[in-house]
Amino acid sequence: MKSFDALLEESVAKHGHLCAGQIIGVRMAMLGCRLVGIDDPKAPEFRKKLIVYVEIDRCATDAIESVTGCRMGKRTLKFKDFGINAATFVNLDTMEAYRVVSTEKSRMLAAHYAPGETDPRKQQMTGYAKMPDSALFDVARVNVDLPKTDMPGPPRKHVECASCGQMVRDGKEAFAHGQTLCRPCAGAGYFQTIDHLQPDNDFSLAN
């Protein structure tokens, strides 16, 4: 594994700015990889051995992605929308998994680890960079129920929605009114359709 400074530099370049989230995310990813016995997640021998679940769509997630190389497009990065600054690292060979949570107390402790720093933002970043893992994180050994349909590789299941005909992959279909449906048709969508555009007329509006 590269040094903290080298990994931070890479993640800041990808993320666009240096922030407390980059520092916490890089450290969280380094600790998570170490705990599951993956020294360098981007090395050929460790590729596709690591799955990371992130629980928030904020700055630290970009750092975790940068350090681990795990990506949603490779199905190695999973997003659970919990609003918690935490990530779970799963070694696919051993199924060993650890959930690493950013502690609330670390915010209070930052000043202690950054004496002489008066700017609150810098104090926070310096503190997060210097405090020990045990102050910055709570760690639990966990069991992750990882269905085969969530694993990397080609889709293991294709099902057609009985209402709209859309193909649903990877076991993400829903069941309602005695039918197999896509989630939007089952009433579990995140949007309300206003109307459907007509290909011949309305699509030209977009140009």
Which residues bind to Zn ion, rule: CB under 5 A?
A: 19, 21, 59, 161, 163-164, 166, 182, 185
d(CA 172, CA 194): 24
Q: Shortest approach of Zn ion to residue 43 CB, angstroms?
A: 27
Question: What DSSP assignment string belongs to 110-139?
Answer: HHHHSTT--SHHHHHHHHHHHS-HHHHEEE
Whether the Cβ atoms of residue 54 and residue 78 lie closer than 8 Å to each other: yes
Question: Closest distance between Zn ion and the C-beta of residue 61, in Å?
Answer: 10
Least gap, CB of 64 to Zn ion (angstroms): 12
Q: Do residues 174 and 183 touch, judged by C-beta distance below 8 A?
A: yes
From the CB of 125, what's the least distance to Zn ion, in Å? 11
Whole-angstrom distance between the N-terminal and C-terminal Cα of the chain?
47
Smallest distance, Zn ion to C-beta of residue 181, A = 5
- Which residue's CB is nearer to Zn ion, number 36 or number 161? 161
Q: Is the CB of residue 155 less than 8 Å from the CB of residue 173?
A: no
What DSSP state is assigned to residue 92? T
Q: Select 11 or 68, whichever has its Cβ closest to Zn ion.
A: 11
Can you tell me the distance from the alpha carbon of 170 to that of 149, in angstroms, rounded to the nearest whole number? Answer: 5
Nearer to Zn ion, 21 or 41 (CB): 21
Residue 55 in tokens: 């629980």
Nearer to Zn ion, 50 or 182 (CB): 182
Taking a C-beta distance cutoff of 8 angstroms, is the pair 64, 29 a contact?
yes
Based on CB atoms, which residue is closest to Zn ion, 19 or 90?
Answer: 19
Nearer to Zn ion, 58 or 148 (CB): 58
CB of residue 81 vs Zn ion: minimum separation in angstroms?
18
Task: Enter the tokens of residue 134.
Answer: 């045990």
